[in-house]
Chain A
Amino acid sequence: MDLNITIIGLGGVGSILIERLCRFINYSNDLTAEILLVDGDEYEQKNYERQEFNRIGNKADIKATELELKFSQLGLDVYDAFINPDNVSEVIKEGNIVFLCVDNHKTRMIVSNYCKQLQDVTLISGGNEFTDGNVQIYVRREGRDLTPDLCAYHPEISNPEDKLPDEMSCDELSHSDPQLYFTNLGVATIMCWAFYNAVIKGKYDRSEIYFDILSMTTDAKTRIVKEN
């Protein structure tokens, strides 16, 4: 199977996810992949607490360099900018598998709405609070939604109150709420489960998975696709 993958966001979730995904594909006998890494942000010293990288610099660039050395079977490319309505079509193409690992609902809305215009796409999006999180799986085939898009049951995504990273001031960018490494790890792991089910097994009856570290529980939901 030839996969065309786009990973948007290489921070707390994305930097963990990408390593696991690349290892799985690189050593699989029947998978090949072209992977585009997308992020306009830079790794900084303070990110070592939760994010996996070995040098300071642009996240997409640093991660691609690291992964090329470890996983020689993969084709890796870099897009070193944040997503906005003008450039989303440059990073997501027909047939793509998109992993969305960002920290704002506005980007989620832009990506989901763009994917809704495509014929075939698989979008796996993760997000978290301090000790809990969720993963959504949006599958579209032949111009038809097979699972609900990211906005369908989430008004906080369809009408986001937050801003894109490009729209934020330096003060806003420097402020970030605390996050727990284990929660980022939980989201990344469940995104891998979603990939294995939706892409490798073609199974996507569960379109959203929640987990909570404090109660040590997960729950997968089946939701009906809303009529347009």
Chain B
Amino acid sequence: MGRSFTREELEAKTSKDLKRMCIDELGIVGVSKKTKDVVINSILETYSGGATIAPSKGVTGVEFTGQSTLTKPSAPFGSRTTTTIHVSCGASSGNFPVTGKSVKEVGDFIREVLNVDRLSTGLVNGKEVPGDYILKEGDNLEFLKPAGKKGC
């Protein structure tokens, strides 16, 4: 987690920036339709180690391994980590709490959301990996999309 902001500093940010910060940096999900005040409160609660994190509709099919702070909201301050991983296929992408999952499991789960081809190869941090590669915090997962053929 990066530096902590005061309430005043958070209020100076836009709703969009706050929500992006929640998802990308703090691992807080389910904020997309919340008001700015609620989002700020969630961030401040996360800083203090007592966040109440709303479940995201987009991840209801994921079975957590119990390793992430999403399933351990009582984890001591300082040990909390960002648990979402950036997953993309072509121009579609999203941040999903899939740390500890294999690339194949994520592909199966995310197939319809990101339009991933069944035979698509997974790249982690720009490098080809086997389907049983277990995703770690900080990984960036891409499923290869074939190149466009036309243009003439």
Contacts and interface: CB of A to CB of B under 8 A. Distances in A.
Contact of A154 (B88, B147, B150, B151): B147
B148 interface: yes
Size bin of chain A's contact surface: 35 or more
A153 interface: yes
B90 A212 contact: yes
A187 B151 contact: yes
Do most interface residues of chain B lie in helix, strand or loop, or is the interface mixed?
A: loop
A210 B88 CA distance: 11
Residues of B in contact with A, size category: 20 to 34
A101 interface: yes
Interface in B100-146: 121, 123, 125-128, 142, 144-146
Contact of B150 (A103, A125, A210): A103
Interface string A1-44: 00000000101111000000000000000000000000001000
Interface string A123-163: 00111110011101000000000000010011011000010
A228 B127 CA distance: 14
A133 B152 CA distance: 13
6 contacts: A14-B151, A108-B147, A128-B151, A212-B91, A212-B92, A222-B126
Interface of A: 9, 11-14, 41, 101-105, 108, 125-129, 132-134, 136, 150, 153-154, 156-157, 162, 177, 179, 184, 187, 210-212, 215, 217-219, 221-224, 226
